[in-house]
Each structure stands twice: as C-alpha cells, then as structure tokens.
Chains A and B, each alone.
Chain A
Amino acid sequence: MEIFANLWLGLQTAASFSNLFYCLIGVVLGTAIGVLPGLGPVATIAMLLPITFGLQPVTALIMLSGIFYGAQYGGSTTAILVNLPGETSSVVTCIDGYQLAKQGRAGKALATAAISSFFAGTAVTLLIALFSPPLAGMALKFGPAEYFSLMMLGLVASVVLARGSLPNALGMIVLGLLLGIVGTDVNSGVARFSFGASELADGISFVVVAMGVFGLGEVVGNLEQGSKERSLLVKKVTGLMLTKEEFKSIIAPMLRGTLLGSILGILPGGGSSLSSFSAYALEKKISKNSVNFGKGAIEGVAAPEAANNAGAQASFIPMLTLGIPSNAVMALMIGAMMIQGIQPGPQVITEQPALFWGLVASMWIGNLLLVILNLPLIGLWVKMVSVPYHLLFPAVVVFCGIGVFSVSNSSFDVYLMVVFGLLGYIFRKLDCEPAPMMLSFILGPMIEEFLRRALLIADGDPMVFLTRPISASLLGICAVVIIIVTLPGLRKKREEVFVED
C-alpha cells in the first residue's frame, strides 16, 4: 500500500542520525520549558528560529515541532506535582492530578499522563498520515457562526467542571466572563476596563490568572495550615507504575480524549484550547468512576492529557496541508518553512514527500523518545512532592514570578499575579472552584469576538446561527445539555455528579 511506502520513506528520513539528534534536542527542550511554568513554546521557537536557518528544512521542522509537543507533555508535570498549570491545556490536569499527588499517587498520575500522551500522539500521527487533506477541508467549513456555537457548547459544559454547589460554579463562570472583558474591544478598538494602563490594553494574560489563582493561592492556603497538618498533606508515595486494573480503567478515557482532541485540534479558530476541558467534562459525565472526579480519579488525568496532546498534534493538519496557522506556534512553523524556501500547502506532500512524511514519522519517534525519557524521570519528579514545604513554596513562588514575567517581559503582570493570588486564596476560603472560571475566562472573549463578527457579516441578522447547519446542531446540543442540567426529574442524578461526599 502507498501509505506504508510513504511512512517507510518518512521513517527513513526521520531516523537519520542528525534528524534523530535534533528531534531529541527538541523534545528535551520542550519538556524543560513545559515543566517550567509560564515559559511557553512560542517564545522558545521564536528565539531558536534563526538557529534553524543553517539546518536542512526537514531537520529544522523536526526540532521545532519537537519543542511544541514536548512542551505539551512537560506542562502536566508541574500541574500534577504542585498544582501549577503552565498552559491552558494543563488547567484541568491540576484538578485530579494534584489530588492524586496529595494522596501519594503522583507517580501513577505522571505515568498516566505519559502513557495517555504517547497513545494520543501515536493515534494522531496515523490520522495525519491517512486523512490530512480531507480533514483540512473541514477546518474551512467553520465560520464565525460555527465557532460561536462551539464555544457556547464549551461554556455550557464548563458547569460540569465544578464540584460543590451549582450557584458557586455559576458565580465563578460569570466572574471569568467579566475578567475576559478587560482589554481592547475588537470591533471598535476602544479599551475597556484598562484604567489607562497600556499593560491592560490587550486584556489580562491567561498565565497571570492561572499562576495567581492556582499557584500563589495554593501556596497561601497551604501556609495557613500548620506545618503538622501540612506534612499530612502528602501521604506515603505508593507505587510508581500503574496496576493492571488502573491500566484497564484508563483505556476508554484515553480513546475518547484522543478522539475529541483530534476533532477540536483540527479547527484553527481556537478549537484546541477546548480539547482538554471538554474531554474532562465528557469523562466526568460518562465515567463509571465519576463520583471520584475532583478527588483524585486517574481517568480525570488520562482523558485531558490524551486530548491536549492529540489537539496539539492535530493542529499540524491545517498547517501542513493548507498553510493555515491554527495558533502562534503553527504561524512560526510556517515562517520557518518559508525562510527555507518552502511554501506550505497541499503541494508539500507531493513535491516534498521526504519533508512531509519525515515530519509525520518524527512526531511518532518524538513521542516515543518522550516516554522513554520521562518514565524513568517519574521517580525523580515524585521526590519533589516530599521536599519540605518551607523549601518547596519559595521555589514555586519564584517560578511563578519568572513564568509570568517571561510571557511579555512585563513586571506589571507580576504585580497583577499577586492580586490574583489573593483572589485565589479567597476562592479557597469560599469553596469556589477556579477551573470553571478559567474556562469562561478563556472562552468569554472568543464567544464575544465570534458573535459580533458573525453578526457583522450577516448584517445583524441573528438567524445566521440557526440557518447554518453546523452552528444549529451545536446550539441544539447546548439546549439538550441545559435541559439535562435543569430538568427536575434529572436533578437528583446531577446532584450525585456535582456534590462531593
């Protein structure tokens, strides 16, 4: 079959000594910046771009993409160990991953993250090899109206992320939406709630809120408890590897997460930011173990980790086949290709088969390298949890500071993070879950942007959301979800899902 001949060509290209070497550099670097909270792949790739000028095009792309998916991979480590999400995608990993770590099962959580990511990476590599061109066509069918409806669905689903009381969750969602309003209005260019500060003109950075609410809030909360109680926080570390039963229980969540992540990752308009959230929400609804979600369910780590890796890799599909950047990293990759004299587009597959298939094959090799590198490291990472807290917390605070500063080299952002740290502490006191707020904070501005753009193009006619089939179906699913959540007959079941204890 042709596909095997192609993959064989790809493997030959990717397995050459220099390509393997740069792939290794890429994933190691990616893991490192992923582990350091806040430092993202965008800045790293931009800085390394000039170095790639001297390399072969395929080698350059292999290294740069290694950084990208390596970072997705490393991001889960700090999320699980110290409740610190470095990127949008690791927010939900915090929920159950950190609980697992507290119970002394950090090793298992990390192993689950590694295995899920590898599985998703392998599956999506095959997906790219088999179906790239037709899938890319799907991305173009999504206009502003469709994105609006998709994001609405995400927002409705965010209610499921919460445990505890529903009013609290709704309050947090609204708060997230309000925080998302800060910044320049896309249509008119008017700055909203910026109080004259240029630093607020582009809105509040996600990293600032995440580091403040999760990182600093957690630190303050932990310090408040006496050192005695704190030492009880982390129980004895039990088994690094998964048992057979645990392994069985993560297979289905892994599959569902991969599927959801691949679909959302292909959409260039921010679909991939939904992948880990929606995978978690779905799992919480349908998992047999849903009672334990939020209290350390291993399925709650497997699904979002698979989804975020699948989403990250699926975003290569529109980039490679259409030259469409679905995020900033892909825009940089296109830049890297153009500097090498390659025009991204469908002709890349036919004109540069070694480049295309070499890159595809290197993704699989890269994922394999990540597992080989990271599984032995788990033992080392887990020891981090048993570091005395009076040594650990200053490090967390410093890394939060460095991470936030590095996003846009702004000390203003660091002060803002402190404010959100205080807010995070108050949320803990009030038993308010920050995860739904984070999701609505990310989705709110996108919903507004797509809503207004859709209306602008449709000349102000709101029917556009119902006359376009994809948009109408998505809104239909929204309605069904709302009915399920509010219907009295079903409320009892919902409460079983929501309320802890």
Chain B
Amino acid sequence: MIRISRILLTLVLAISALPVCAQNFPTKPMRLIVGFPPGGGSDAFARTLGQRLGDQLGQQVVVDNRPGANGNVGAEVAAKLPADGHNLLLISTSQAINVSLYAKLNYDLLKDFTPVAIIGAVPNTVVVKADLPVKNVKEYIALAKTRKLTYASSGSGSPEHLAGEIFSAQAGIKMVHVPYKGSGQSVIDLAGGQVDSGFNTLPSVINMAKQGKVKVLAVTTLKRSNTSPDIPTVNETGLPNYEMSTWYALVVPSATPPEIVQKLNEEVNKAIASTEIKARLFALGADAAESNTTTKASAFIRNEIDRYKSVIQKMGIKNE
C-alpha cells in the first residue's frame, strides 16, 4: 500500500516538475517558506511581499512557516522542494551567518539555492540604558575602555551578536556579551537598566527610545535609515565603514529554470519599487532595497557569507 502511494507520489511530483515555461508561470498557488515563526521580522517581510507578489502574478502566495534552528529547518525543507518556481524561500542575515556558525548543515545555501533578489533591510542600533553616561558612539567606546560593559543581543550567533562583535573588534574594546532568546526580553532589560547596552534592531527599540527609557546612539547601516533620519550612523560617528544590518532576500531551489528566476526577479523589483510596499516596510521600520539584478543579489549574499566567516573564525564561536 505504502509502496503504491509512494509511486503515485513520485509520479505526481515528476509531472509537476516538468519544464514550465515562463509565459504561463505561475500555474498554481505558490509557497513561500519562512524559517521563523509567525510574528517575527522574517514573517512580516514574507507576508508583506507575499501578498503583493500574489496580486501581481495572479496566484496566491501561501506563507509557510517552518521555524527552527535559526532558520535552518525552513531552508532544509525548501532545498528539497520541486524547483519549478512555485516554491520560494525567504532568507535573512541569519542563514548567511549559519553557513559558518554550524559545523554541519543539511543544506548548502550557495549550492542548493539561487538568489532571486534582495528585498530590504532593517537597521540594527547601538543602544544604551537611559542612565549610562554616554551621548554618542565615541563616548561609549571610551567608557568601554575604562570599565567592563555588558551588551545584550537576541541570541548567540544572531545578527545582533555579530554586530556587537564586529563593533568591539573594530573599536578595540572587550565587552561582556549577554545573549537573550529573541529581542523582546533584551529590550525590557535595557529599559530596566539590567544591562548596560545592546545591539538591537531599530524597530525593537524605537518606542523605548522615544519614551526616554533607552538611548539609541547610532544605527549600524552605512547610510542613515529613511525611517529615522535623525539618528546618526556608526560609520559617521567613530567607526568608518562599519556596517551590519539585518537584510532579507528571496531565493529559490537552484534547479529552477533561469527564465522563471528572471521573471520572479522582475516581479520582486516591481513590488519593492511600489509605494504600497515601500510604505508597508517603512511602517515595520525597514528600508526597501533598491532595484537589484539576480547577479547583484548573488554577489551580495556571497560577500556577506565571506564577511561573517572571517568574524566567526576570529571570535571562535561554533554551533555543533
């Protein structure tokens, strides 16, 4: 019985994997895998983009959350799906970090997937508790040289953790890393003055900053964020060329026909150029990416992976 159903399943899969031409793509509802649970940044990005892509392509895009292991579970699932363009995966900085962070992965981000386009990025921030006697990045670095400061991140190996480590290395300081499970509790402890400082995404701290419960010293993007143009960058206030944002990108299994990848790239670029999506992402505290080709997206992701590899090797952290 099982064998018959296996054969049937294989047949169905084989038929659905037959070459589809880009003209009549998509032929059925599409699936967008997200490696994080509903409610997080990745999920918000996926649902915003998914809805718009669905409208543009005339097929529904179903967001499929497969949370687990820093986004690895979702990527493992997506790597095995039919490469007909109907299966998409949303990746972020996390998966690019995972390449070097984990000793063994059941998928290969570079070999198993082809990038479609970069969608946008959320700036991280250097944030300190309200009564820490510093006003800017320079004073913060100076204080860290005189006494031991703690900094919170949303987890060991998270983009925020790497932001802190790259910052410390470039500034030549040593701080105590206090990892949290996600950013919620770390922001509360910052507001309560339990930790001295933190590296957090801009949207997670901006409310607290407006209430004066925490102080945002700088954003970690190269250029100031459109969402909060009055906050300076680390780049302009002490550490030249420092950059560490949390970006989001769309990828598909690598066997997806090139003309379909091309078509998806055009659609994503159309979506992120629209005022509707720009406004949605803006409300989430994110900046939509500029129009980008698949080659450009691919080069960007490769470059990010290499950059994190060297940081992680220097830090000596490794997840078994």
Interface of A toward B, CB cutoff 8 Å: 42-43, 45-47, 49-50, 139-144, 184-191, 196, 198-199, 201-202, 268-269, 322-326, 328, 331-332, 334-335, 338-341, 343-347, 408-410, 449, 453, 456-457, 459
User: Given A49-B47, A142-B192, A187-B179, is A409 in contact with B66 using a C-beta cutoff of 8 Å?
Assistant: yes
Complexed CA–CA distance, A339 and B184 (Å): 18
Offer 25 A-B interface pairs, CB within 8 angstroms, sorted by A: A45-B38, A46-B39, A47-B38, A50-B47, A141-B192, A144-B189, A144-B194, A187-B156, A189-B101, A198-B76, A198-B106, A199-B68, A201-B69, A201-B72, A269-B188, A322-B191, A324-B184, A335-B39, A335-B44, A340-B283, A345-B207, A409-B66, A410-B66, A453-B178, A457-B176
Write out the residue numbers on chain A whose beta carbons fall within 8 Å of the beta carbon of B70: 201
Structural contact, B184 and A46, CB atoms closer than 8 A? no
Write out the residue numbers on chain A whose beta carbons fall within 8 Å of the beta carbon of B280: 339
Complexed CA–CA distance, A198 and B104 (Å): 10
Structural contact, B203 and A338, CB atoms closer than 8 A? yes
Question: Does B73 belong to the interface (CB within 8 Å)?
Answer: yes
Question: Does B210 belong to the interface (CB within 8 Å)?
Answer: yes
Write out the residue numbers on chain A whose beta carbons fall within 8 Å of the beta carbon of B191: 140, 322, 324
Complexed CA–CA distance, A141 and B189 (Å): 9
Q: Which of A139, A201, A347 contacts B188 (CB 8 A)?
A: A139
Complexed CA–CA distance, A326 and B181 (Å): 13
Structural contact, A198 and B39, CB atoms closer than 8 A? no
Write out the residue numbers on chain B whose beta carbons fall within 8 Å of the beta carbon of A268: 184-185, 188
Write out the residue numbers on chain A whose beta carbons fall within 8 Å of the beta carbon of B293: none
Q: Closest 10 A-B residue pairs measured CB to CB?
A: A46-B38, A189-B156, A201-B69, A323-B207, A143-B194, A140-B192, A198-B69, A339-B283, A189-B319, A332-B39
Complexed CA–CA distance, A331 and B187 (Å): 12
Interface of B toward A, CB cutoff 8 Å: 37-39, 43-44, 47-48, 51, 64-70, 72-73, 76, 101, 104, 106, 148, 150, 155-157, 176, 178-181, 184-185, 187-189, 191-192, 194-195, 203, 206-208, 210-211, 213, 280, 283-285, 317, 319-320
Closest partner residue, chain B, to A191 (CB atom) = B320
Q: Which of A43, A142, A453 contacts B38 (CB 8 A)?
A: A43
Complexed CA–CA distance, A168 and B47 (Å): 48
Complexed CA–CA distance, A499 and B67 (Å): 43
Write out the residue numbers on chain A whose beta carbons fall within 8 Å of the beta carbon of B69: 184, 191, 198-199, 201-202
Complexed CA–CA distance, A459 and B195 (Å): 12
CB distance from A366 to the nearest CB of B (A): 21
Structural contact, A408 and B68, CB atoms closer than 8 A? yes
Write out the residue numbers on chain B whose beta carbons fall within 8 Å of the beta carbon of A188: 156, 317
Write out the residue numbers on chain B whose beta carbons fall within 8 Å of the beta carbon of A326: 184
Write out the residue numbers on chain A whose beta carbons fall within 8 Å of the beta carbon of B67: 202, 408
Closest partner residue, chain B, to A137 (CB atom) = B192
Q: A328-B39, A339-B283 are in contact. List 16 more A-B contacts (CB 8 A).
A: A144-B189, A186-B181, A189-B179, A196-B104, A198-B73, A199-B69, A202-B68, A268-B184, A324-B184, A328-B37, A339-B284, A340-B283, A408-B68, A409-B65, A410-B66, A457-B178
CB distance from B41 to the nearest CB of A (A): 9
CB distance from A67 to the nearest CB of B (A): 13
Write out the residue numbers on chain B whose beta carbons fall within 8 Å of the beta carbon of A184: 69, 156, 319
Write out the residue numbers on chain B whose beta carbons fall within 8 Å of the beta carbon of A323: 207-208, 211
Q: Which of A45, A47, A341, A345 contacts B283 (CB 8 A)?
A: A341
Structural contact, A346 and B211, CB atoms closer than 8 A? yes
Structural contact, B65 and A186, CB atoms closer than 8 A? no
Structural contact, B211 and A322, CB atoms closer than 8 A? yes
Structural contact, B66 and A408, CB atoms closer than 8 A? yes
Complexed CA–CA distance, A45 and B43 (Å): 12
User: Given A43-B38, A140-B188, A323-B211, is A457 in contact with B206 using a C-beta cutoff of 8 Å?
Assistant: no
Write out the residue numbers on chain A whose beta carbons fall within 8 Å of the beta carbon of B68: 198-199, 201-202, 408, 410
Q: Which of B39, B47, B285 contacts A338 (CB 8 A)?
A: B285
Write out the residue numbers on chain B whose beta carbons fall within 8 Å of the beta carbon of A456: 150, 176, 178
Write out the residue numbers on chain A whose beta carbons fall within 8 Å of the beta carbon of B179: 186-187, 189
Most chain A CB within a 10 A radius of its CB, from B157, B176, B189, B284? B189
User: Given A140-B191, A141-B192, A324-B187, is A331 in contact with B39 using a C-beta cutoff of 8 Å?
Assistant: yes
CB distance from B21 to the nearest CB of A (A): 31
User: Given A190-B320, A457-B195, is A324 in contact with B43 using a C-beta cutoff of 8 Å?
Assistant: no
CB distance from A180 to the nearest CB of B (A): 13
Complexed CA–CA distance, A410 and B69 (Å): 13
Complexed CA–CA distance, A335 and B184 (Å): 12
Complexed CA–CA distance, A382 and B195 (Å): 52
Write out the residue numbers on chain B whose beta carbons fall within 8 Å of the beta carbon of A139: 188
Q: Which of B180, B184, B194, B319 contacts A190 (CB 8 A)?
A: B319
Structural contact, A345 and B210, CB atoms closer than 8 A? yes
Complexed CA–CA distance, A141 and B208 (Å): 16
Structural contact, A409 and B64, CB atoms closer than 8 A? yes
Structural contact, A338 and B187, CB atoms closer than 8 A? no
Structural contact, B194 and A269, CB atoms closer than 8 A? no
Complexed CA–CA distance, A196 and B76 (Å): 13
Structural contact, A322 and B44, CB atoms closer than 8 A? no
Most chain B CB within a 10 A radius of its CB, from A144, A198, A341, A453? A198
Structural contact, B155 and A42, CB atoms closer than 8 A? no
Structural contact, A457 and B194, CB atoms closer than 8 A? yes
CB distance from B256 to the nearest CB of A (A): 22
CB distance from A441 to the nearest CB of B (A): 16
Structural contact, B211 and A345, CB atoms closer than 8 A? yes
Write out the residue numbers on chain B whose beta carbons fall within 8 Å of the beta carbon of A410: 66, 68, 73
Structural contact, A338 and B284, CB atoms closer than 8 A? yes
Complexed CA–CA distance, A446 and B146 (Å): 33
Write out the residue numbers on chain B whose beta carbons fall within 8 Å of the beta carbon of A325: 184
Write out the residue numbers on chain B whose beta carbons fall within 8 Å of the beta carbon of A459: 148, 176
CB distance from B287 to the nearest CB of A (A): 15
Closest partner residue, chain A, to B50 (CB atom) = A50
Structural contact, A331 and B184, CB atoms closer than 8 A? yes
Q: Which of A140, A191, A335, A346 contacts B284 (CB 8 A)?
A: A335
Complexed CA–CA distance, A175 and B189 (Å): 31
CB distance from A356 to the nearest CB of B (A): 15
Complexed CA–CA distance, A456 and B181 (Å): 15
CB distance from A210 to the nearest CB of B (A): 18
Structural contact, A198 and B72, CB atoms closer than 8 A? yes
Complexed CA–CA distance, A142 and B189 (Å): 8
Structural contact, A199 and B73, CB atoms closer than 8 A? yes
Complexed CA–CA distance, A144 and B189 (Å): 8
CB distance from A387 to the nearest CB of B (A): 30
Write out the residue numbers on chain B whose beta carbons fall within 8 Å of the beta carbon of A191: 69, 319-320
Structural contact, B192 and A143, CB atoms closer than 8 A? yes
